[in-house]
Amino acid sequence: MMSLLLIGFSLLFIAVHTLRTSLASPLNKIPGPWYAKFTSLVLKWHEFRANRTRYIHRLHLEYGQAVRIAPDEVAFASATAVKEIYCSGGSGYDKTNFYDLFKVYGKRTMFTTLNKDDHAKRKRVIADRYANTNIVRPQSLNGIAERATNFVMRCYESVGGSLDLYVYLHAYAFDCVTHHLFHPYGTNSLLDAHDEAVMREVTFDDSLQNRLVAYYWPTIHKVFGQILSLFAKPRETPLADSFVLDTSAKTGAAPFTLLDRLHGSSSQLDQLDIAAECLDHMVAGIDTTGDALCFLMWELSQPASMHYQRKLQQELRANPTASFDKLPFLDAVVMEGLRCFPAIPMSLPRHVPSGGRTIDTFYLPEGTEVSCQAYSVHRVDRSVFPDPDAFKPDRWLEPKGDAERKRLFFAFATGGRGCVGKHLALAEMKMLLQSVYSRFTTLPDATMKPIDLEMSDQLISSRPQAQKCRLRFVPLEPANGK
């Protein structure tokens, strides 16, 4: 009897303490749903249903650019918040333990370092390999061009039928990334392999639910992990693991590659650190570029966007020898594609530093989890992006408002911890689109439904709901009648 009373009083004390803490929180001044003051369960429910991004966006539309989404978590969608959280002090606030989920072989990589000092040390080793001056070297660009040509060959082979872009764009991204990481080492092009099973392994999406349980309830995951794996089996990538571990141990890679830099005397990394960093860059460079291209080419193929596809074809065919970075409308198409379909649309969580900070007039105590998500940053401020849900590349060609648009462009994050592979990704996207749309018109296959291309959240990235995107490729008439 006494033990039951003790348990009852303990539960009552916990409930009262939680209620008092919630009602006294300085975050109560921030708008948001009433339940966010007391529990994060609603947010977690949407995360487990692969719907976090859209859920938070709905809250932004209802409550504004600052919204409380959990007792100790706030989401922002303004340019001032982006600058404060991700750029203050150069690299912004430190990352949260959420990034522990992305350790590779138990090692921290540049992406998974939590504090800015550790990140800066690793970035000094890596950054020059992703500088634009390195990306535009002939050896680097020729590798991308060769892989774009391989992709075009697959398009010609599909004429009269259709091609699953979800498979082949990930294979294209894989080939481009491994060229930049390891050249001249590696495997034969996956675009030449005609092996869909191998191609699908280069998408590194793990079980979302399994990894969220590991993050939120690690004890439960340790105890019931074997049972959970029966329902949500973590994705296994033995071919990719074997490839990276074997290849990253080799020396003599081309000077423009990341592997060459990691083996340099200044890196001071052991072999497993090098392999972990290489695999991390593969993950970052394959799903993001492949999915972004998939969403963009699907959009360009829709009847409502066909006039944009025609305009892009006209620019490309009128300038057949132009460099990919000298084509204004191609740049506008890519920028708008990344605005509407950012490869990483979800929140990038950070901790408010010691002493607390004020963001958008709201004071947040130290330790509060804060974030911005590209999906909302690109849509909430309608004075900068009118008709935000519409795909309108022309908006990027208007001189008026150019600075404001660029301040709110968050597809590659921003600040010292922004995407180090931005220039490589843009080169891959533009060269692929240039190769395809100077030769083809793309149309959706009759088997595809709009719901198939609905955005499905993963841990940070997103992918098409159906994990497929079949398009038909119709060859254009030769330019100038030749």
Annotated binding-site positions for heme = 419
Q: How far apart are the first and last CA of the chain?
A: 94
Taking the C-alpha atoms of residue 192 and residue 150, their distance in angstroms, rounded to an integer, is 7
Phi, psi of 386 (to 5 degrees): -60, 150
Instruction: State how far the alpha carbon of 455 is from the alpha carbons of 55, 58, 65, 395, 468, in Å.
Output: 12, 15, 22, 23, 12
Residues recorded for the chain: 482
Residue whose entry in the numeric block shows the structure tokens 């974030």: 371
Phi, psi of 365 (to 5 degrees): -70, 160
CB atoms within 10 A of CB 119: 21
| Nearest CA among 232, 374, 392, 367 for reference residue 304 | 392
Taking the C-alpha atoms of residue 260 and residue 256, their distance in angstroms, rounded to an integer, is 7
Q: How far is CA 13 from the centre of its chain?
A: 43
Residue whose entry in the numeric block shows the structure tokens 């003599």: 252
Taking the C-alpha atoms of residue 70 and residue 40, their distance in angstroms, rounded to an integer, is 5
Q: What is the DSSP letter of 115?
A: S
Q: At what angle do helices 218-231 and 208-216 cross, to 10 degrees?
A: 160
Taking the C-alpha atoms of residue 181 and residue 173, their distance in angstroms, rounded to an integer, is 12
Positive or negative: CA dihedral 447, 450, 456, 460: positive
The strand pairing partners of 70, in sequence order, are: 73
Phi, psi of 260 (to 5 degrees): -60, -40
Q: What is the amino acid identity at position 334? A: V
Residue whose entry in the numeric block shows the structure tokens 């291209």: 293
| Nearest CA among 298, 273, 284, 270 for reference residue 470 | 298
Binding residues: 419
| Nearest CA among 66, 64, 59, 65 for reference residue 33 | 59
Taking the C-alpha atoms of residue 61 and residue 210, their distance in angstroms, rounded to an integer, is 30
Taking the C-alpha atoms of residue 301 and residue 473, their distance in angstroms, rounded to an integer, is 10
